[in-house]
Amino acid sequence: MPEIKVTPLGAGQDVGRSCILVSIGGKNIMLDCGMHMGYNDDRRFPDFSYITQNGRLTDFLDCVIISHFHLDHCGALPYMSEMVGYDGPIYMTHPTKAICPILLEDFRKITVDKKGETNFFTSQMIKDCMKKVIPLNLHQTVQVDDELEIKAYYAGHVLGAAMVHIKVGSESVVYTGDYNMTPDRHLGAAWIDKCRPDILISESTYATTIRDSKRCRERDFLKKVHETIERGGKVLIPVFALGRAQELCILLETFWERMNLKAPIYFSTGLTEKANHYYKLFITWTNQKIRKTFVQRNMFEFKHIKAFDRSYADNPGPMVVFATPGMLHAGQSLQIFKKWAGNEKNMVIMPGYCVQGTIGHKILNGQRKLEMEGRATLDVKLQVEYMSFSAHADAKGIMQLIRMAEPRNMLLVHGEAVKMEFLKSKIEQEFNCYMPANGETVTVTTNPSVPVDISLNLLKREMALGGPLPDPKKPRTMHGTLIMKENLVSSEQALKELGLNEHQLRFTCRVPVQDPHSDPDTLHRIYTHLKSVLKGYTIQHLPDGTVMVESIVIKVSSSTEDANTKILLLSWSYQLYSKGLSHWEPLRHMLGKVMSYGVVMLKIPSY
């Protein structure tokens, strides 16, 4: 039986360095190639030794697919292609291809130029890597080679994020990347066809969470920000450059306009301009409201939000600052946090998920003394709030996607083990669910399918008859599937796949016989002759007034029109055909001699 193998090289029972190796139909596909933000050494990269212990990866991979531009999904791509070695095709959407190199370069500057780390990719490596990228359009089927095809679907989450359907022959896998089943202020909800993949590989960041009302969350967020600036405090909102940043900027811009507030709002220098540029360029990826109003008013040209300069962090008085990155693991957001952490009037609002090992994760877990670089200790006195504006699907959204795609098996990645275990137990009430750790391989046996071609001429002839189409509201004489042989698939498996119940189908033939005897006497005479004529067959005279020859049932009844005429009813199941037509010959022979006076007239149809 065919098999699909899935091995997480990262994001197995963990969040960070997403990288999934899928082997399907003799093809090897790498899904995402991310970086772990909680590490500062080689552990930040996926473990490519599971693919090969040494040498380049080109000979072992048919293609690489990147779901979106977040660094935990694409951050290790230049390292993999240029330092480990991969020259094959890399697929991602147009927005991801445009934004990915900018974020990679920003992170490289922080890691290499400022921290002086080695064993990291260079600017030229980023450029060389991006030359290998082939852009994807939504709903476009791309033929990677003669057998492997991929198709991208809208995932929400961030600009350009995509789920991907991978198909080799009759086997298929869907990989979600990160997705959001709820539309927001600037992006739509994720959507996919009812493609019924053999395996659905889904993120499970919020596997045990069902979010409260979005309106309530927005109201609480605005209330916290307003209260802090009213008492003269500063609000730091760590975000990633594109995504939640635009969502919260639109929210604050509207609130500031309505309330006529004067406290300044700042965004990390340069990122607002870049965001505006990309949202204009890829406006078709936004939601319907943004697209409709874009000509009259660009929602991303903010009146109250200005570019941030580092010197502003020391200014007196209230302010709100959006700064990157979103987990306080480096960059401008961490620098501002260090300056403001000692004042209890200030507040940091964490709007998204933070991986273990980052400053964001530590303060959300109540840690108030932080060991910084150089053994310095930072006392955290400012208020810490977590308000989930994350663009990941919650537990309800994950179940919604399952109902939408109708997979045969489920595999969870990109989540915390304890939470994943809970969701896994719920999913297993319907079908198999797996949650492999990094380096662990899950093997799923798939059901082979055989393509059936129908004659075009036959189809045209049937359509030309012009008969009425069946009305599903009206009962029909017979509706089901007839399985004559089990050489393609077992009947139990076929019925389960089609959602049908098994029924026995029997055929009955009426044969008139001239015989003046009573019904029981006629049946007994038939039974006696069958026993003498058909040697080696199981023949029974049953109490219910029937004779059985193997699976053939013979009954006798009197004709209502002629007292001397008997009606022989011969009944058999369709399984008899599979045994061969020779079973009819002894029966023909027997019935020709059953009446001693030779008045039997039998006509058994030939098959």
* Ramachandran region, residue 11 (left: φ > 0; alpha: ψ -120 to 50; beta: rest): left
The catalytically annotated residue of 105, 147, 149, 203 is: 203
Strand partners, 165: 151, 174
Provide the 10 A C-beta neighbour count for residue 328. Answer: 27
| E runs forming strands in 259-418 | 265-268, 305-308, 319-323, 347-350, 369-371, 377-379, 383-386, 410-413
- Tokens representing residue 477 in the block: 């004489």
What is the number of other CB atoms lying within 10 angstroms of the CB of residue 317?
10
Residue 186 pairs in a beta bridge with none
DSSP letters spanning 159-186: TT-EEEEEEETTEEEEE--S--SS--SS
Residue among 65, 14, 28, 24 nearest 412 (CA): 14
C-alpha angle 326-330-333 in degrees, rounded to nearest 5: 55
Q: Is 203 a catalytic residue?
A: yes
Is 110 strand, coil or helix?
helix
Cα–Cα distance measured from residue 409 to residue 444, given in angstroms and rounded to the nearest whole number: 8
Cβ-Cβ contacts under 8 Å for 59 (sequence gap 6 or more): 52
* 8 cis-preceded (ω within 30 degrees of 0): no
Rounded-to-integer distance, Cα 33 and Cα 11, Å: 10
Of 427, 15, 16, 360, the residue nearest 200 (C-alpha)? 427
Instruction: Name every residue whose Cβ is closer than 8 Å to that of residue 282 and which is 6 or more positions away in sequence.
Output: 94, 95, 98, 159, 160
Nearest partner of 308 among 277, 281, 331, 283, judged by Cα: 331
- Tell me how far apart the alpha carbons of residues 39 and 356 are, in angstroms, rounded to a whole number: 9
Q: Report which secondary-structure segment, H or E, holds 97.
A: helix 94-108
Bridge-partner residues for 84, per DSSP?
Answer: none
For 98, counting Cβ atoms within 10 Å of its Cβ (0-12 exposed, 13-18 middle, 19+ buried), the class is: buried
For the annotated catalytic residues, the residue numbers are: 203
